Each structure stands twice: as structure tokens, then as C-alpha cells.
């Protein structure tokens, strides 16, 4: 019994103990509690619920909470990455720089992308509705990502068993087009990279929505979007396809442009009109569904004929003016500015003069190509050659027009067609300038004391007469020699023998100094052949050098860009009109007066027959065997250089003088310029003059011996060229070897004695020709309105 009682007692104690003891709970660690408290909380909340209800809630709740656990770090990860993108880049779009002529007319567009950024207020409302209906109907109802639209597109894709519906909003497309969202570190897996890019696109879209208003987002989107054929932005697309501004688009045109956005090259109306119309009609239907337009409006738009830019106007034609602008920009702008574009570049070009220069050159040369027995390839024959064509070998030419008092290039033509040859002969071609260099030889001699009436021999050169010439003795173009003549006659008639003697008088070093001062880049040869124009230069160089004659020795270096503004209208570059005194006033004026005579009774006299009757000066030039034909001439406003020749130097035509091949082009260009307001007024001077008694043989102050020899005369001389007080003639003081045996000898005279003729001013009543100073400045060469 005791034993049984003891057992019973023991069992009783155990039972009592078991009843008091509850199942021990596992203690939840602090870390687990922090990390998984939502799951733990869900467990606790659902514990009292009935089993089936608890099961259903946990079945939905646990995956949902796990998804949240996954999304939170994902959101934070992509949020952090999206923060690295500069939101200002959304509105920074590379666009073409607009190039304007001096009248404000557009010459063309260069650099950047083929885009014209415009304000959304300048876009047709029909197009706004069309692009929203086509790409993002709920644009104004979401904040970057349209989750409702995403769900709808997903269901449609599942139903259609394929990816027939997209879910990208306009904001998402803007993000994708504005930034490079590809992660290089995921390049090993395309699917992962695509998924990463889509998540990042969503994150960046939210940032864009937080930084920009809806209208701004829409504006940036339509300006950035690609429309095929290198076209970007709605304005450029409208002008390219329909030749009108975006604000003038019709409903039909708006729907077509919106319709081809997803496949601009595939659906381009330039390539496939039926497919483009199909996309237009689909867009119109969506506009009706979105209640942007009525069914009747859609039907009327569908019935409208699609008229796109004709094929013959789709080809971009290059121009010599734009080529010159591009070259100049490379020297002005930093590389990043050129690439980004968006600038407004105002040039000095006058498109009306430019057009006339191009037309006149081609028309004149075509007339020679059509003549019987023409010995070279014609342009028409080259155009008939099959593709690919070789480089053209037909006769070429160049025209450069420069404004005297600014250095501004008014027109520049580098050949007969910029599409057929990219070689710009106005700046890149360096050809012998021939007789057009002679004015600078005479100018150099005038600065050394020679006067226009100083007598120079036109006879053949004698061995040893000219330094460095040896036995070289050039002939004149007419094969004649006319004995002693005034120096001016040598320039007016372009006499080679006289010009060499004048150059010898000046000295090679002086002529080389003048050539450099007026802008010739090539150093002058150190032999007398240089006096006849063996120097090589471009038409632009030669035109610029000649401006010293109407400018009284002052030179403005050539410039083609006047001003550059950024997209905000701020001036980024301004090209000042800087000048310098290249040569003496008196010598430039004296040479200019002779060049005026060249046009009156010299090698340029045919200009009157060509219809140009305004005051002007100029010089023809022809190189050996008629390989190069030049004419360079000027009025008070403009200087124009014309060159004609073949790219591979050879005889152009028989007797192909500058007066035949080049001067007629010059006359046509200058007649047009005069009508446009570049007035050719009298070539006046503000110089002061004094009358001196000079010797025709030496050009120095006359002595008693000069008077006795009949060589003394009175000349009106610019003050800066008046011979010094002691610069009396040495020839008529007893040295017959200089002037010849027939020159009377004269005894030295005392300059202070009364018997020596004095160089004194004469009164205006005398018959000596005088250049009267004028007070007013020479009129600027500016076009009229």
C-alpha cells in the first residue's frame, strides 16, 4: 500500500505539474524581430482567426510582404542611381546652328543634329492631340509611369499572345531618349541589362516628373523625338516632310507624323506613302476613341490627300558660302560648341550678291563650252557620265567680293557647283596672279620716289640692266616696244619690260615688304620674274590685297562671320572691324588713280561695253600660255576678284585673257551690287597735296639742268610722297651713262640759290590737276532696305 500510494502520489504530482506547465515558446531574436516584424505581426494578428480564414490571409499576405521586402531595396537602389542624372540634360538637345546672311535670310544650318527647338505654343494643337492619343492618352493623369495603362497593355498582350501593346509613357520615352541608361557591368546578359534599363527608366521618369511641369515635358519630348532621315523634333519634321512650320500642320498631317513615330524610317512618307497613310488613319481612330476629335473630323482628315515635299527638293545642296562659314567656325569655336550647335551665326554674306556671282560665273563659262572647237571637257559632258563620276575636269572659276571699309566678305564662290566639287578655289586654290600683281610693284616704286610721269624705258632689257635678271628679257603681250614712256603708261598698258624696270627701281626687298603688308601669304621670289606675277595666291587673298587702293593704304583683314549668339540670344562672339595701315596713303592713292585709267583706256576698258559705267579701278591678269585669267577691280564700296582656269593648269582657250574670261563676270556682279545699294561713287581722297617741280627722268626735285633739258614739270604730290628738301635730280648733273648721251648735262646748283627752281605749292587757279580733300568720310558699303 505505501508503495502504491507513493506511486499514486508521484503520478498525482506529475499530473498537477503538467497541468500547470504551458508549451514553451521559442524566443524571437532581436535581429529577426527587426527584419521580419511585418511577417511576425501578420502571424500574431491572424492567430485567433478560424483556420481557413487564417490560411487565406496568410496565403496572400506573406507573398505580398515578401514582395515589399524585395521592392524596398530595389526602389532605394534605383532611386540612388537615378539621382546621378542631371535633369538639365532633358532640355539640352543638340540642334543645328542657323547661319544667316547680313539681311537676316537663312543661308543654311550646320553642326549639331538636324533639329529646330521651338516652344510648345508654336505647335499645332491637332498634333498635340495626335501624339497624346498615339503614345500616351493618360499623360496628364499619371506621374511618369501609367500603371493602369501598364496593366491594360499587359492584359492585351496576353490576350493577343504577343507584344502588341507598349506601356511606355511620354515621360519614359523622354528619359530613354535623354540619357544612356545602359549599365556596362550587365553587358554579359542582354535580358538582365534590358530589365535593369527598364527599372532605371521608371526611376528617372519619376525624377523628370518631379522637376518639370507637364507642358515642359511634352515640349521637350516633341523637340527631341526622332522622325527618320536624321530628322529630330517636330519643327524639322514638319518642314522636311510638308515644307511648313509645325504650327501650320493640318489634322491629317499631324496624325501622319504622330503615326510614324514608332517606325519613322519604316513608315516614312518619302519611302512608303500607303504605310504612312495607314498609320495616319490608325492615329485618327485613336483620337476619336480618346474624344480629342469627332468621327466626322477623322473621316474628313482620312479623305485628305497626303502631299509631301517633292523628291527633287529633298536633296540638300551644298554652297560655297556655307563651306567658307564652316572653315571659319573651326577657327573660332571650341569643339564642344561646334558639336552641340544651337547657335545663331550672322555672316557678312549678302545672299543676293552671292547668287548673282554663282549664276554669272557658270553662265559665262558655259558660253565658252558651247563654242565650236572648245578643247576641254564641258560641264554638261561630265554630268552625263555614269556613276560613280570621276573628279570634274571642266573649266572652273572663282569669285570673291569684299567690302572695302570693313573687310566683310559679301560673296564667295569656290567653283561652278559645290555639289560636284568640294575643292573651294576661292580659299584653297593658289594660282599665279600674273599681271594683277603689277599694281603692287608700282606702289612699291612710288613709295621709293617714283612718280606716274617719271619716264621709264619700254625697250628690251639689256644684260646686267636689272639686278638678278642675267640675260632674261621678257617681251610684251603685243610683241612691241615703245621706247621711253611715263611710268603710268606701263601699268595702264600692262607693259612687262617697264614693270620689270619699275620693280628694279623699287628693289625686290621693298616689293616683298609691300606684298606681305597687303596680305599675301607666300613669300616673294628673290628674282625679277616676281615683278610679273609669279607669286601664287588665292582669289580671296588677291581681293583683300586690292582693297588698299580704294582705302588709301588701309586694310581690313577679310572676315565672313560678324556675330555668334547662343540659343538664349546672348552674344558669344563678335568679330570687330579691325584695320591697319598697310602701305602709305599717297602711294596707294597714286596707284589707284592709274588703275582708274586702266578701266578708262587700258586693259579693262571693255567694262563700259559690258554695261558698267560707274567710277572704278582694276587690273587684268593673264599667266603664261593662258593658264590663268584674272580680273580684280573695285569701286568705292566693294572689291571683287574673279579667276578662271582649269584645276590642272593648262591653256584655257586661245587668247584667253583676263579681259575675256574674267572681266565680264566682274561686270555682272558689280552691276547687281550697285543696284542693291553698294553704291559705286567717285574714288575720292582726304589726302593733302602740294605742287612740286619735278624731273620726268629721275622723279626727284627738278634742277636748272632739268629745266634746260626740258624734263622739268609740275606735279600735284601727296604730302607723304613729297621728295625731301635735298632730293634734287642727280641725272642732270653730268652723268650721261644714266640717262643717255642725248640728255643735256647740267652743272650742280645751290639748292638755296634763287636760280634753283623751288618746289612750292601752287594756287588753285593754276591748271595743275589737283585731288581736292573732302571732309565727309567715304560712304560705307551697306545694302539698302
298-302, 372-376, 571-575, 747-751: which has the minimum mean pLDDT?
747-751
Lowest mean pLDDT among 164-178, 241-255, 299-313, 756-770: 756-770
- Between the ranges 136-140, 203-207, 513-517, 761-765, where is the mean pLDDT highest? 513-517
Rg (CA), the chain: 43
Q: How far is the C-alpha of 547 from the C-alpha of 549, rounded, in Å?
A: 5
State the sign of the Cα–Cα–Cα–Cα dihedral 564, 547, 529, 629: positive
| pLDDT of 531 strictly over 90 | yes
Lowest-pLDDT range of 142-156, 190-204, 387-401, 644-658 = 142-156
Q: Concatenated DSSP letters for 565-602?
A: E-TTS-EEEE-----EE-S-HHHHHHHHHHHHHHHHHS
Question: Which three cell numbers mark 469?
Answer: 635678271
Say if residue 705 is preceded by a cis peptide, omega within 30 of 0.
Answer: no
Name the residue with higher pLDDT: 308 or 336: 308
Tell me what pLDDT residue 784 has: 32
Residue 361's pLDDT is: 97
Q: What is the pLDDT of residue 6?
A: 44
**Cα–Cα separations (whole angstroms), residue 531 to 183, 274, 498, 507, 542:** 69, 70, 10, 10, 15
Residue 719: pLDDT band (50, 70, 90) is: confident
169: cell is: 509613357
Q: Which residues fall within 8 angstroms of residue 165, CB to CB, at 6 or more apart?
A: 152, 153, 156, 157
Least confident interval from 30-44, 625-639, 663-677: 30-44
How do beta strands 344-347 and 97-100 pair?
parallel
The torsion of the CA quartet 60, 65, 70, 72, rounded to 10 degrees, works out to: 140
681 or 244: which carries more pLDDT confidence?
244
- The predicted model gives 155-175 an average pLDDT of 69
Residue 184 CB partners (closer than 8 Å, separation 6+)? none
Secondary structure class of 376 (helix, strand, coil): coil
Give the 3-state secondary structure of residue 599: helix
Q: How far apart are CA 502 and CA 416, in angstroms?
A: 37
Cis peptide before 388 (omega within 30 of 0): yes
CA distances from 649 to 569, 628, 756 (A): 47, 8, 57
Beta carbons of 734 and 743 less than 8 angstroms apart: no
Residue 415: per-residue pLDDT: 96
Question: Residue 345: which pLDDT band, with cuts at 50, 70 and 90?
Answer: very high
Query: Length of the chain in residues, anyone?
Result: 785
Mean pLDDT in residue range 440-461:
94
What pLDDT is stored for residue 697 in this prediction? 83
Residue ranges in 83-189 assigned as alpha helix (H): 125-135, 147-160, 170-178
Q: Is 551 exposed, middle or buried (0-12, 13-18, 19+ CB in 10 A)?
A: buried
Least confident of 163-167, 196-200, 677-681: 163-167
Complete domains list, the chain, with CATH: 32-84 (no CATH), 115-313 (1.10.3810.10), 431-455+484-558+577-675 (3.40.710.10), 684-785 (no CATH)
- Are residues 376 and 523 in contact, defined by beta-carbon separation less than 8 angstroms? no
**Whether residue 583 has pLDDT greater than 50:** yes
Q: Give the whole-angstrom CA distance, residue 613 versus residue 609.
A: 9
Comparing 274 with 746, the larger pLDDT belongs to 274
Per DSSP, 129 falls in state H
Most trustworthy range by pLDDT among 192-201, 319-328, 431-440 = 431-440
- Contact criterion met (CB below 8 Å) for 646 and 666: no
Q: Is the pLDDT of residue 698 over 60?
A: yes
3-state secondary structure of 345: strand
Q: What is the pLDDT of residue 160?
A: 56
Task: Give dist(CA 225, CA 236) in Å, integer.
Answer: 11
Backbone angles phi, psi at 754, to 5 degrees: -70, -20
3-class DSSP string for 442-505: HHHHHHCCCCCCCEEECCCCCCCCCCCCCCCCCCCCCCCCCCEEEHHHHHHCCCHHHHHHHHHH
From residue 412, how far is each of 247, 562, 748 by CA, in Å? 35, 15, 57
Question: Residues of the chain with pLDDT > 70: what percent?
Answer: 83
Q: Is the pLDDT of residue 499 over 60?
A: yes
The pLDDT score that the predictor gives to residue 591 is: 96
Q: How confident is the model at residue 151 (pLDDT cuts 50, 70, 90)?
A: low
* pLDDT score, position 734: 43
Distances (CA, A) of 473 to 234, 442, 459: 70, 19, 10
Residues 6 or more apart in contact with residue 115 via CB below 8 angstroms? 93, 94, 95, 96, 223, 224, 231, 232, 233, 235, 236
- The torsion angles phi and psi of 403, rounded to 5 degrees, stand at -80, 125
Residue 242 or 168, more confident? 242
Confidence of residue 159 (pLDDT cuts 50, 70, 90): low
**Interior/surface letters 631-642, b for 16+ CB within 10 angstroms, e for the rest:** bbbbbbbbbbbb
Question: Which burial class, exposed, middle or buried, applies to 189 when counting CB atoms under 10 A from its CB (0-12, 13-18, 19+)?
Answer: exposed
Other CB atoms within 10 Å distance of the CB of residue 525: 14
Per-residue pLDDT, 164 = 45
Pick the closest to residue 665 from 352, 364, 321 (CA basis). Answer: 364
pLDDT at 778 over 50: no
Mean pLDDT of 323-345: 80
Given the C-alpha cell 516633341, which residue does it identify? 222
Predicted confidence at residue 781, as pLDDT, reads 37
Residue bearing cell 555614269: 386
Predicted confidence (pLDDT) per residue in 630-641, tens digit: 999 999 999 999
Residue with cell 571683287: 640
Band (411; pLDDT cuts 50, 70, 90): very high
**All residues at 6 or more sequence positions from 376 whose CB lies less than 8 Å from its CB, including other chains:** 369, 393, 394, 395, 646, 652
Which residues, at least 6 apart from 657, have a Cβ–Cβ distance to it below 8 Å?
603, 620, 622, 626, 629
d(CA 740, CA 512): 30
Verdict on whether the full-model pTM lies above 0.85:
no
Q: Which helix (H) or strand (E) holds 238?
A: helix 234-242
Quick one: pLDDT band at residue 116, thresholds 50, 70, 90? confident
Over range 418-427, report the average pLDDT.
Answer: 93
Q: Which of the pair, 57 or 619, is modelled with greater confidence?
A: 619
pLDDT band at 759 (very low <50, low <70, confident <90, very high): very low
Q: In whole angstroms, what is the distance from residue 763 CA to residue 745 CA? A: 32
Q: Which of 599, 652, 669 shows the shortest CA–CA distance to 431?
A: 652
Looking at 503-517, 698-712, 727-741, which range is the least confident one? Answer: 727-741
The whole-number average pLDDT for the span 545-559 is: 96
User: What's the mean pLDDT when you consider all of the chain?
Assistant: 84
pLDDT at 486 over 70: yes
Identify any residues that bridge with 563 across adjacent strands, giving them in sequence order.
346, 574
* Residue located via cell numbers 564641258: 378
Q: Say which residue, 193 or 129, is predicted with more confidence.
A: 129
Q: 265-290 pLDDT, tens per residue?
A: 889 999 889 999 999 999 999 999 99
Tell me the backbone φ, ψ of residue 642, rounded to 5 degrees.
-125, 130
**Residue 217 Rama label (left phi>0; alpha psi -120 to 50; beta):** alpha
Lowest mean pLDDT of 61-65, 80-84, 559-563, 775-779, name the range: 775-779
Amino acid at each position: 500500500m505505501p508503495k502504491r500510494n507513493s506511486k499514486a502520489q508521484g503520478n498525482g504530482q506529475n499530473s498537477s505539474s503538467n497541468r500547470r506547465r504551458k508549451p514553451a515558446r521559442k524566443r524571437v531574436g532581436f535581429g529577426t524581430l527587426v527584419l521580419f516584424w511585418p511577417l511576425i505581426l501578420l502571424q500574431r494578428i491572424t492567430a485567433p482567426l478560424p483556420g481557413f480564414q487564417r490560411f487565406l490571409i496568410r496565403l496572400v499576405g506573406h507573398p505580398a510582404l515578401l514582395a515589399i521586402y524585395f521592392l524596398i531595396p530595389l526602389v532605394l537602389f534605383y532611386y540612388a542611381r537615378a539621382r546621378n542624372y542631371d535633369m538639365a540634360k532633358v532640355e539640352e538637345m543638340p540642334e543645328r546652328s542657323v547661319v544667316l546672311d547680313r539681311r537676316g535670310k537663312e543661308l543654311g544650318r550646320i553642326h549639331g543634329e538636324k533639329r529646330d527647338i521651338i516652344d510648345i505654343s508654336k505647335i499645332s494643337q491637332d498634333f498635340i492631340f495626335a501624339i497624346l492619343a498615339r503614345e500616351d492618352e493618360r499623360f496628364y493623369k499619371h506621374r511618369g509611369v501609367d500603371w493602369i495603362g501598364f496593366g491594360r497593355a499587359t492584359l492585351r498582350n496576353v490576350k493577343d499572345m504577343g507584344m502588341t501593346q507598349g506601356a511606355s509613357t511620354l515621360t519614359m520615352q523622354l528619359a530613354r531618349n535623354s540619357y544612356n541608361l545602359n549599365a556596362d557591368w550587365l553587358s554579359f546578359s542582354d535580358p538582365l541589362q534590358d530589365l535593369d534599363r527598364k527599372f532605371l527608366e521608371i526611376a528617372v521618369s519619376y525624377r523628370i516628373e518631379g522637376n518639370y511641369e507637364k507642358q515642359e515635358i511634352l515640349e521637350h519630348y516633341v523637340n527631341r523625338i526622332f522622325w527618320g532621315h536624321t530628322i529630330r523634333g517636330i519643327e524639322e519634321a514638319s518642314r522636311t516632310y510638308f515644307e511648313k512650320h509645325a504650327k501650320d500642320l493640318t489634322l491629317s498631317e499631324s496624325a501622319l507624323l504622330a503615326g510614324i513615330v514608332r517606325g519613322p524610317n519604316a513608315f516614312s512618307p518619302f519611302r512608303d506613302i500607303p504605310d504612312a497613310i495607314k498609320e495616319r488613319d490608325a492615329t485618327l481612330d485613336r483620337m476619336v476613341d480618346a474624344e480629342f476629335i469627332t468621327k466626322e473630323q477623322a473621316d474628313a482628315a482620312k479623305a485628305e490627300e497626303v502631299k509631301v515635299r517633292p523628291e527633287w527638293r529633298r536633296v540638300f545642296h551644298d554652297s560655297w558660302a556655307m563651306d567658307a562659314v564652316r572653315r571659319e567656325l573651326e577657327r573660332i569655336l571650341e569643339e564642344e560648341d561646334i558639336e552641340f550647335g544651337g547657335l545663331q551665326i550672322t555672316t557678312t554674306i549678302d545672299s543676293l550678291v552671292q547668287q548673282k556671282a554663282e549664276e554669272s560665273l557658270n553662265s559665262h563659262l558655259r558660253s565658252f563650252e558651247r563654242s565650236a572647237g572648245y578643247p576641254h571637257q564641258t560641264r554638261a559632258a561630265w554630268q552625263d557620265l555614269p556613276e560613280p563620276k570621276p573628279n570634274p575636269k571642266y573649266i572652273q572659276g572663282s569669285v570673291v567680293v569684299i567690302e572695302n571699309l570693313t573687310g566683310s566678305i559679301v560673296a564667295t564662290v569656290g567653283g561652278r557647283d559645290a555639289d560636284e566639287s568640294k575643292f573651294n578655289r576661292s580659299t584653297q586654290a593658289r594660282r599665279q596672279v600674273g599681271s594683277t600683281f603689277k599694281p603692287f610693284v608700282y606702289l612699291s616704286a612710288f613709295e621709293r620716289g617714283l612718280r606716274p610721269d617719271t619716264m621709264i624705258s619700254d625697250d628690251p632689257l639689256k644684260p646686267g640692266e636689272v639686278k638678278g635678271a642675267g640675260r632674261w628679257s621678257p617681251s610684251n603681250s603685243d610683241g612691241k616696244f615703245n621706247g621711253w614712256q611715263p611710268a603710268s603708261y606701263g601699268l595702264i598698258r600692262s607693259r612687262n619690260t617697264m614693270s620689270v624696270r619699275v620693280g628694279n627701281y623699287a628693289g625686290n626687298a621693298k616689293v616683298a615688304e609691300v606684298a606681305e603688308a597687303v596680305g599675301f601669304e607666300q613669300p616673294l621670289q628673290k628674282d625679277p620674274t616676281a615683278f610679273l606675277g609669279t607669286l601664287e595666291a588665292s582669289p580671296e587673298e588677291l581681293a583683300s590685297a586690292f582693297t588698299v587702293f580704294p582705302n588709301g593704304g588701309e586694310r581690313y583683314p577679310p572676315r565672313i562671320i560678324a556675330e555668334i549668339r547662343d540659343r538664349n540670344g546672348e552674344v558669344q562672339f563678335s568679330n570687330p572691324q579691325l584695320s591697319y595701315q598697310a602701305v602709305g596713303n599717297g602711294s596707294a592713292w597714286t596707284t589707284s588713280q592709274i588703275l582708274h585709267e586702266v578701266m578708262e583706256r587700258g586693259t579693262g576698258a571693255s567694262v563700259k561695253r559690258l554695261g558698267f559705267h560707274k567710277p572704278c579701278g582694276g587690273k587684268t591678269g593673264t599667266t603664261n600660255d593662258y593658264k590663268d585669267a584674272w580680273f580684280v577691280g573695285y569701286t568705292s564700296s566693294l572689291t571683287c576678284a574673279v579667276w578662271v582656269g582649269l584645276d590642272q593648269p593648262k591653256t584655257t582657250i586661245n587668247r584667253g585673257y583676263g579681259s575675256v574670261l574674267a572681266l565680264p563676270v566682274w561686270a555682272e556682279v558689280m552691276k547687281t551690287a550697285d543696284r542693291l545699294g553698294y553704291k559705286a561713287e567717285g574714288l575720292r581722297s582726304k589726302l593733302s597735296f602740294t605742287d612740286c617741280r619735278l624731273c620726268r627722268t629721275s622723279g626727284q626735285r627738278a634742277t636748272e639742268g632739268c629745266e634746260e633739258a626740258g624734263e622739268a614739270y609740275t606735279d600735284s604730290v601727296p604730302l607723304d610722297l613729297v621728295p625731301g628738301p635735298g632730293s634734287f635730280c642727280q641725272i642732270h648733273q653730268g652723268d650721261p651713262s644714266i640717262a643717255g648721251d642725248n640728255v643735256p648735262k647740267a652743272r650742280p646748283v645751290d639748292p638755296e640759290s634763287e636760280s634753283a627752281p623751288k618746289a612750292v605749292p601752287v594756287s588753285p587757279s593754276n591748271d595743275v590737276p589737283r585731288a581736292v580733300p573732302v571732309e565727309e568720310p567715304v560712304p560705307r558699303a551697306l545694302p539698302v532696305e
